[in-house]
Amino acid sequence: MKRAAGLLVSTSILGFVSHAMAEPRPKTQAKSRPELVLFRTADSDGSGSVSLGEFALAVQESFARRIHERFQQLDRNRDGRCRRSEVNKMSAARFARFDLNADGQFTLAELTQVMNEELEKRLVRVSLRLDVDGNGELSLAELTPRPKKPAPAPVEVAGLPNTNVH
């Protein structure tokens, strides 16, 4: 169950990134790096840094859209309630987790409440991991992926197959 919630949280953060990247940009920014677009979207006050509150708000907004979209997929008869018969592949334990009032169905509000509680827990961990300098704000440098170290190039030794020399 935690894994499924974690995946939704992770994909929501990725969804936030993709949403930010889908925003129309002026032609002068057409070739902006994804982290720059993400940074500008999250920096709602234009301060040049993203507070942890701004980061949380941006992720929560994206998360709310994703929860709504997911509920629309689950509520196959479009009556605003998701019954067990509509999600027969969902485990009974997982279904019960979303059915907060134990009435045999869950609503968008119930799903939202459960998922937001999970998001709150994960946002703290994610923001602490991203805030490398611990100043309570995210800089563009902290949101920019670090390049991976390239693998050592194979060294050819006469008469032997290519190997890496250590």
pLDDT tops 80 at residue 42: yes
Place of tokens 């032997």: 160
- Mean pLDDT is highest, among 10-24, 39-53, 106-120, 122-136, for 106-120
CB of 111 within 8 A of CB of 71?
A: yes
Q: What is the pLDDT of residues 109-140, one digit of tens each?
A: 999 999 999 888 888 888 888 888 888 888 88
Taking residues 38-62, what's their average pLDDT? 84
Taking residues 64-87, what's their average pLDDT? 93
DSSP string, 58-71: HHHHHHHHHHHHHH
Taking residues 82-98, what's their average pLDDT? 93
The DSSP bridge pattern shows strands 137-138 and 81-83 to be unpaired
Residues 6+ away with beta carbon under 8 Å from 134:
none
Set out the domains of the chain in order of their start, with CATH numbers. Answer: 2-143 (1.10.238)
